[in-house]
């Protein structure tokens, strides 16, 4: 079975007194997935000693594992695959990304110069792309005059998602926002519904934006952007279709991923580190 570990979990493993046996057991039972987000978050760890420990655990956990591409590239690749009528999507990182990731995990003490520039550039571009897409979707929802109350009451998250995502004009508009942000709005114009239904990747991705919109639009308290899963946390939903178990100890992220997992075409587990440890 495939297993995806958020960096919050890798941090827990580093601090676990039984980390050697945890790593051995994880590799014996599952095939761990390594993502570009894993590598970037490790590289952004400010303290060299801590970064070294994270790299050591990551090298042992993900030995031999190919690198899953960053969320933005994953979205772009899925659109390209649909446009070219390919049955499968290339979800792996570019050769350059693979080399940089290997360099970071092997030489945690040498994250400087070109590597530091690359990491920071990646972070800025991913954050800008995610926030731009979120703002496009939010503006579209506002332009459509979507009411903040349903039948005079604040809806539950589940009801909001069910009713709003069942609105065909809204769904078409949101999918068009995705197409426009990746430069496919002309090539794939009019195919929004077909794209949405072509792969569970799309409902899972859009559900994260729906949850963010709900949190920002309905909450009386704790509705700021800080209360949502961040762009690196929320964006990792793109890895959910490619794993059987998703593990994160970030509570906000786990709520989002768990909700997205419900609409998948196969059953997936979304666990905290404590739950995973009990399984092991």
**154 contact partners, CB below 8 Å, separation of at least 6:** 148, 218
Residues in the chain where the model's pLDDT stays below 70:
108-115, 138, 140-155, 157, 160-166, 215-233
Q: How many C-beta atoms surround the C-beta of residue 277 within 10 A?
A: 17
User: What is the structure's pLDDT at 207?
Assistant: 83
User: What is the structure's pLDDT at 224?
Assistant: 44
Burial class (CB in 10 A: 0-12, 13-18, 19+), 31: middle
Q: Is residue 231 a contact partner of residue 256, using CB atoms and an 8 Å limit?
A: no
Domain boundaries, the chain: 2-279
Separation in Å, CA 173 to CA 126, 164, 168, 216, 240: 22, 12, 8, 19, 24
Q: Is residue 192 a contact partner of residue 172, using CB atoms and an 8 Å limit?
A: yes
Q: Which of 131, 104, 136 is closest to 117 using CA atoms?
A: 104
User: What is the structure's pLDDT at 221?
Assistant: 43
Q: Is residue 241 a contact partner of residue 264, using CB atoms and an 8 Å limit?
A: yes
User: What is the structure's pLDDT at 96?
Assistant: 86
User: What is the structure's pLDDT at 223?
Assistant: 40
User: What is the pTM assigned to this prediction?
Assistant: 0.85
pLDDT tens digits, one per residue of 197-235:
999 999 898 888 777 777 665 544 444 444 554 555 678
Residue with tokens 């995705």: 178
User: What is the structure's pLDDT at 136?
Assistant: 73
Q: Which of 5, 13, 118, 99 is closest to 56 using CA atoms?
A: 13
Q: Is residue 171 a contact partner of residue 161, using CB atoms and an 8 Å limit?
A: no
d(CA 205, CA 236): 9
Tokens of 141: 């929802």
Residue 149 DSSP code: -
Tokens of 248: 């994160």
Cα atoms in the 13 Å half-sphere on the side-chain side of 168: 4
d(CA 96, CA 264): 32
Cα atoms in the 13 Å half-sphere on the side-chain side of 112: 3
């Amino acid at each position: 079975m495939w297993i995806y570990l958020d960096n919050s979990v890798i941090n827990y493993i580093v601090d676990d007194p039984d980390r050697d046996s945890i790593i051995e057991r994880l590799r014996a039972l599952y095939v761990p997935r390594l993502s570009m987000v894993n590598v970037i978050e490790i590289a952004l760890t400010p303290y060299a000693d801590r970064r070294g420990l994270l790299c050591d655990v990551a090298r042992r956990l993900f030995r031999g594992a190919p690198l899953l591409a960053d969320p933005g590239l994953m979205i772009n690749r899925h659109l390209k695959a649909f446009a070219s009528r390919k049955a499968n999507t290339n979800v792996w990182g570019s050769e350059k990304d693979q080399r940089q990731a290997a360099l970071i995990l092997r030489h945690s003490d040498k994250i400087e110069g070109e590597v530091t520039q690359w990491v920071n550039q990646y972070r800025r571009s991913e954050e800008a792309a995610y926030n731009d897409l979120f703002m496009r979707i939010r503006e579209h929802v506002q332009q459509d005059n979507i009411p903040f109350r349903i039948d005079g009451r604040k809806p539950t998250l589940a009801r909001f998602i069910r009713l709003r995502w069942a609105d065909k004009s809204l769904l078409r508009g949101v999918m068009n926002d995705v197409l426009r942000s990746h430069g496919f709005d002309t090539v794939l114009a009019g195919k929004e519904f077909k794209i949405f239904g072509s792969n569970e990747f799309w409902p899972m991705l859009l559900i994260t934006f729906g949850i963010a919109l709900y949190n920002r639009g309905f909450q009386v308290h704790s509705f700021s952007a800080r209360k949502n899963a961040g762009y690196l946390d929320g964006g990792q939903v793109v890895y959910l279709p490619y794993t059987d178990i998703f593990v994160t100890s970030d509570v906000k992220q786990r709520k989002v991923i768990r909700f997205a997992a419900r609409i998948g075409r196969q059953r997936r587990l979304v666990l905290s580190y404590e739950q995973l440890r009990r399984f092991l």
